[in-house]
Structure 1
């Protein structure tokens, strides 16, 4: 009888175990992916971050060269911060909106192809603009297309890899090397070969258009990756966030992290500062900060075990403040010897604040609320925190760097850098007073299935 019923009622197909989902580890031992697959995914990551790094690092210098009565006189006195706000708005709205389409209509590799083609077309249009409003809405459209590609490239890699913990970090690190290569190309190789610096020109945007086109075409060669239905999970996770806001330790930590990330937005003006200080090969020298970031990532597990997350976060916030003090001191003294350590501190500053913060959120939330907590953390830091920080940068620019009606602009850099230094000082004191490393329900990720924090999907590698 049971045999007849089994024939009459079709079996409901069960999904295969998902090896990259930490809540559902695979039952069988994980096998290594083919070496060629890792190479193909690494090339995707290289182009993913090179396409942004080719132009975004030097964009502040281009804006400064055309602000007020300078250059073409396109921009108002606060546009550096306004431009940065476009990226923050992209981080808030774009992943769910574009992800919804990717989940229902297009495989990941084809969605990446479409989005990078759109980025190329939009960036080409931006490079032709002659008005500030044209630049701003162009940037807004660009980041609405670019930000989802970061999430999609990560999820595509994780779906194709069988052992995410072992195979994904080296592939993701190649993305950082793409950012470094972009800085070396724009800041050093181009002026060396052609005899002219281009950091204050539109040329980096046009070079990046070519990188987006190459990435768009390359994505068509990637392995087929069907929709992963991520957005439904993200919406469900955000719906769980209502319970998390009643947990004082999580809300306190997220608010403090948001404050620290507001100060981090001032770093977007560094390239303009270096060029104002007549530092040769500025963009190339900035890429040294990404090298130290790789070192800080490698050090993160050992540093966490040795110092604990509270001390690690405090040191990361302190490093942000120290580097801003160094930049202020360099501007005040006219000496360049403080610039190298200020750039070198980027790794500790970025990784030990953003990444260790995501790890602490994961520990406090536990496995059931992990997705909601990480979503709240990413929204607060990469979205709201960066947006508020960008607005602060614009206000500081209009007040101290390029005030309206003052020609030539005064560029009071020594006072400008003291603003984020003070903000980081406040954040450090508040962290020391209110940040507890003893959560109510501590949980550790399983060693064979560690969580890849969503903050790793930020724009900067």
Structure 2
């Protein structure tokens, strides 16, 4: 891969995740303070991610893989997304805001697969080259958070500007996409069933009892994950943290560092311990949030944020490696699509609706909430999932793929993931 192409792909990744991080982290605070939304409405807004994740395989599988070059589809989706983000920024209330952000996420979520496809198609050795490009995506998310903190938009009630910033970046990436290396469709003329597009052909993996336990745990652990996405930023702002969005970017730094260390931990600890540590970190993080504050226990807030790397990488990245190892060569792609549908589709759907209801239930006043209870509930859910997982999951060394005679693959072959 030439240096020029590497630079283009790196800039593509940077903008892709800068756009998402520019508005998603502070969405809950914006809705509660600027649009006077309820907790349930905040949950419904974050639910758009799940809807987009469910729709994404159809857009990528039915259009990008068969009819148009991936870089052109990417450009069109981001240009349309820029318009929708701009419209969302000027929405006077939740009812007019929601259709714009729902449509936007339906268009944005497929781009996560498209940027990976464009990058992989240009690489001779993705196992060595992809990480060098993908790391710019995490950096883009971090820079977005630092920018919001540096401009003090949370304290000055100016979070409307986050959508305008994201819209500008989306327009830039939309135009830039047409200059990316050509990535023509690879399945032109082929037909696929709905089950193929959703990865349902990998459903045979559930015949493996241990994988079934992992699969159910993945759905269940996404319920407390939804609390983090939806209400961490409002919580940190309410308890007095200055520049909360910028400080939250420490979670992505942690994620990046732990992701680099995953191969070492994986070889030393194995699947079960890795997954258990990831779930245990969720319990500990929410306990820190429940008892942390802006005064003497400020360190708990920081610790809860920094734990993000363990929470996300040890469970979700390890889970994707585990899935990849069991699936075999034939079912690799469909198996990853299947687990993504289960987690970001089903699990996050349940979690976003539940978290909104819990937030409303423990609202004490217009600007006051019983955050201890709001965080102890997802801590309890994660603890139950952890205990059941430890009781019923059985790790088998040298596991063989259930749907293929292929041997298990190495860590480096696992698919890429978005920031958690």
Q: How far apart in 2 are the matches of 1:452 and 1:196? A: 37
Q: After superposition, what is the alpha-carbon deviation per residue over 1:302-343, rounded to whole angstroms, capped at 9, x for unaligned?
A: 001111111011001101110110000114986312111111
Pair 196,371 (structure 1): closer, same or farther in 2 beyond 3 Å? closer
Tell me what 1:187 maps to. Answer: 149
Tell me what 1:389 maps to. Answer: 351
Matched, 1:57 2:25: yes
Q: From 180, 184, 201, give the equivalent of 1:222.
A: 180
Q: How far apart in 2 are the matches of 1:233 and 1:301? A: 35
SS at match of 1:351: helix
Q: How far apart in 2 are the matches of 1:306 and 1:423? A: 28
Tell me what 1:370 maps to. Answer: 332
Please tell me whether the aligned partners of residues 264 and 389 of structure 1 are also in contact (alpha carbons under 8 angstroms): yes
- Shift in Å at residue 200 of structure 1? 5.4
Please tell me whether the aligned partners of residues 22 and 165 of structure 2 are also in contact (alpha carbons under 8 angstroms): yes
Q: After superposition, what is the alpha-carbon deviation per residue over 1:212-252, rounded to whole angstroms, capped at 9, x for unaligned?
A: 01111111111111113399579537352343343333222
Matched, 1:211 2:159: no
Q: After superposition, what is the alpha-carbon deviation per residue over 1:24-57, rounded to whole angstroms, capped at 9, x for unaligned?
A: xxxxxxxxx1122111100100000001111111
Any runs of at least 4 consecutive aligned residues in structure 1 with deviations exceeding 4 A, and if so which?
230-235, 331-334, 442-447
Tell me what 1:145 maps to. Answer: 107
Q: How far apart in 2 are the matches of 1:41 and 1:162? A: 14
Pair 263,199 (structure 1): closer, same or farther in 2 beyond 3 Å? farther
Matched, 1:398 2:356: no
Comparing 364-373 and 170-179, the one that deviates more: 364-373
Q: After superposition, what is the alpha-carbon deviation per residue over 1:331-376, rounded to whole angstroms, capped at 9, x for unaligned?
A: 4986312111111111111111110011111222333333332222
Q: After superposition, what is the alpha-carbon deviation per residue over 1:108-133, rounded to whole angstroms, capped at 9, x for unaligned?
A: 11111100001101111111112322
Q: After superposition, what is the alpha-carbon deviation per residue over 1:364-421, rounded to whole angstroms, capped at 9, x for unaligned?
A: 23333333322221111121111111111111111113xxxx6434311111000110
Q: How far apart in 2 are the matches of 1:362 and 1:320? A: 24
What are the equivalent positions in structure 2 for 1:162-311 lying under 5 Å apart? 162-188=124-150, 190-191=151-152, 197-198=155-156, 201-229=159-187, 235-236=195-196, 238-268=199-229, 269-311=231-273
Please tell me whether the aligned partners of residues 254 and 308 of structure 2 are also in contact (alpha carbons under 8 angstroms): yes
Please tell me whether the aligned partners of residues 198 and 204 of structure 1 are also in contact (alpha carbons under 8 angstroms): no
Q: After superposition, what is the alpha-carbon deviation per residue over 1:164-217, rounded to whole angstroms, capped at 9, x for unaligned?
A: 1110011111100000000111112x13xxx98456531111111101011111
Tell me what 1:420 maps to. Answer: 378
Q: Structure 2 regions of 5+ residues with no counterpart?
A: none
| Structure with the greater alpha carbon radius of gyration | 1
Q: How far apart in 1 are the matches of 2:407 and 2:260? A: 19
Q: Structure 1 regions of 5+ residues with no counterpart?
A: 1-32, 67-71
Tell me what 2:52 maps to. Answer: 90
Tell me what 1:45 maps to. Answer: 13
- Shift in Å at residue 300 of structure 1? 0.2
Q: TM-score, normalised on structure 1? A: 0.84
Pair 444,350 (structure 1): closer, same or farther in 2 beyond 3 Å? farther
Please tell me whether the aligned partners of residues 445 and 451 of structure 1 are also in contact (alpha carbons under 8 angstroms): no
Q: TM-score, normalised on structure 2? A: 0.92
Please tell me whether the aligned partners of residues 400 and 408 of structure 2 are also in contact (alpha carbons under 8 angstroms): no
Matched, 1:36 2:4: yes
Instruction: Give the count of matched residue pairs.
Output: 411
Pair 376,42 (structure 1): closer, same or farther in 2 beyond 3 Å? same
- Shift in Å at residue 103 of structure 1? 2.5
- Give the CA RMSD over aligned residues: 2.3
Q: How far apart in 1 are the matches of 2:211 and 2:184? A: 35
